[in-house]
């Protein structure tokens, strides 16, 4: 379970402290919560050692690590960070690999057109959806039709997926990915028929999940709180444009909306775990320290 050990103002340079941690192979992360930097340790067993360094850092007595160790720690940090989110990394690799194969093969024509010949006559028939099958509905999710399309969706997947996998775990991210992909693709097919693809329904679903849990539950993610309103506004803008001039934005608005609503609903009904309640309580206690506690005041000053 991660442990919060420091809350510092946004203008405080934590680099000397984080370099010391990486040089000593202590896994940690710094996230911004309500305008302040929060330093979390991955292992509670490291707290005692780190508190000594915190005191030295606050008094200016922390010895700087050698540059070679700092560079090694930085490289280790990047590698460890990637390996800590294996599912996010694997999906990103699959997206790139599928896009590359799409350039030399036409296999994807069938993947992008689930239920071809069934729409619109049978779009309200359960038999049509069962005929396509679960895998058939999920296949369009990994297809991207341009380099910009791939880069945009992979970037958002990397940002949101890693934050969610770290905070909520790989199995919850896997479940969210499958359900939001399915709901988004079904919504797009029902509204517009076959001929679509992309991961954006999933990324909107992850935005909905993270945004709701940030605003309504107080779960800390290293994601700006304004991201959900911003992307929801962008979705409404493209939908408005396409309603005036069909096809203006070229986006699968129904998949976006379906994924977003699905993510919001899942976040609404999903109960908080014991770890999450403890994390929220720790965040609140560190965000509002006791004015009579000198140690708490020191932490606020960073």
* Whole-number percent of the chain with pLDDT over 90: 46
Where in the chain are all domains bearing CATH 1.20.1540.10? 85-270
* Helices 170-192, 253-269: inter-axial angle, 10-degree rounding: 140
Residue in this structure with the two tokens 């939001």, named with its chain if needed: 180
- Give the three-class secondary structure for 31: strand
Catalytic site includes residue 200? yes
Give CA–CA dist 32/54, Å, rounded: 19
Whether 86 shows a pLDDT value over 50: the answer reads yes
Instruction: Say which residue, 239 or 264, is predicted with more confidence.
Output: 264
- pLDDT at res. 297: 40
What confidence tens digit (pLDDT) does each residue in 234-249 have?
A: 788 877 776 677 665 5
- pLDDT at res. 74: 55
Whether 193 shows a pLDDT value over 60: the answer reads yes
Q: Are 7 and 30 in contact (CB under 8 A)?
A: no
What confidence tens digit (pLDDT) does each residue in 135-153 have?
A: 999 999 999 999 999 999 9
Give CA–CA dist 244/255, Å, rounded: 19
- pLDDT at res. 70: 45
Whether 215 shows a pLDDT value over 50: the answer reads yes
E strand spans, the chain:
3-8, 28-33, 36-41
Kindly report the backbone phi and psi dihedral angles of residue 267, in degrees, each rounded to the nearest multiple of 5, phi listed first.
-65, -35
Nearest to 99 by CA among 150, 47, 148: 150
Assigned architecture for domain 85-270: Up-down Bundle (1.20)
Mean pLDDT of the chain: 83
Beta bridge partners of 56: none
Whether 257 shows a pLDDT value over 90: the answer reads yes
Of 76, 200, 243, 275, the active-site residue reads: 200
- Sign of the Cα torsion 276, 223, 94, 114 reads positive
DSSP at 223: S
- pLDDT at res. 198: 95
In angstroms and rounded to an integer, the radius of gyration of the C-alpha atoms of the chain is 23
Give CA–CA dist 199/145, Å, rounded: 11
Of 256, 275, 285, 296, the active-site residue reads: 256
Whether 301 shows a pLDDT value over 70: the answer reads no
Nearest to 208 by CA among 256, 155, 272: 256
Give CA–CA dist 222/83, Å, rounded: 18
| Stretch 244-269: mean pLDDT | 85
- pLDDT at res. 53: 84
Q: Which long-range contacts (CB under 8 A, 24 or more apart) does 79-83 make?
A: 80/27, 81/162
- pLDDT at res. 161: 95
Q: How confident is the model at residue 216 (pLDDT cuts 50, 70, 90)?
A: confident
Whether 204 shows a pLDDT value over 60: the answer reads yes
| Stretch 99-116: mean pLDDT | 96
- pLDDT at res. 302: 36
Most confident of 3-7, 30-34, 103-107: 103-107
């Amino acid at each position: 379970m991660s442990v919060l050990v420091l809350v510092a103002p946004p203008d405080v340079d934590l680099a000397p402290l984080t370099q010391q941690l990486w040089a000593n192979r202590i896994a940690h992360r710094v996230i911004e919560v309500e305008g302040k930097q929060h330093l979390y340790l991955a292992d509670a067993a490291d707290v005692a050692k780190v508190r000594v360094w915190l005191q030295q850092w606050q008094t200016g007595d922390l010895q700087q690590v050698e540059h070679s160790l700092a560079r090694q720690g930085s490289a280790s940090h990047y590698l460890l960070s990637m390996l800590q989110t294996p599912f996010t990394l694997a999906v990103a690799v699959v997206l790139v690999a599928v896009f590359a194969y799409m350039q030399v093969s036409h296999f994807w024509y069938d993947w992008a057109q689930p239920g071809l010949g069934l729409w619109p006559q049978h779009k309200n028939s359960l038999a049509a959806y069962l005929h396509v099958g679960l895998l058939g509905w999920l296949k369009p999710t990994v297809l991207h039709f341009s380099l910009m399309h791939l880069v945009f969706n992979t970037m958002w997947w990397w940002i949101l997926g890693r934050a969610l996998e770290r905070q909520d775990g790989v199995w919850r991210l896997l479940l969210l990915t499958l359900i939001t992909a399915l709901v988004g693709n079904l919504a797009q097919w029902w509204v517009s028929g076959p001929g679509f693809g992309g991961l954006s329904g999933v990324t909107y679903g992850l935005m909905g999940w993270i945004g709701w849990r940030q605003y309504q539950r107080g779960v800390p993610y290293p994601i700006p709180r304004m991201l959900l309103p911003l992307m929801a506004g962008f979705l409404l803008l493209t939908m408005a444009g396409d309603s005036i001039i069909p096809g203006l934005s070229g986006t699968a608005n129904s998949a976006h909306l379906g994924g977003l609503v699905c993510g919001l609903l899942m976040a609404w009904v999903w109960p908080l775990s014991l770890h999450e309640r403890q994390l929220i309580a720790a965040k609140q206690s560190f965000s509002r320290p006791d004015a009579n506690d000198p140690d708490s005041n020191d932490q606020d000053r960073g």
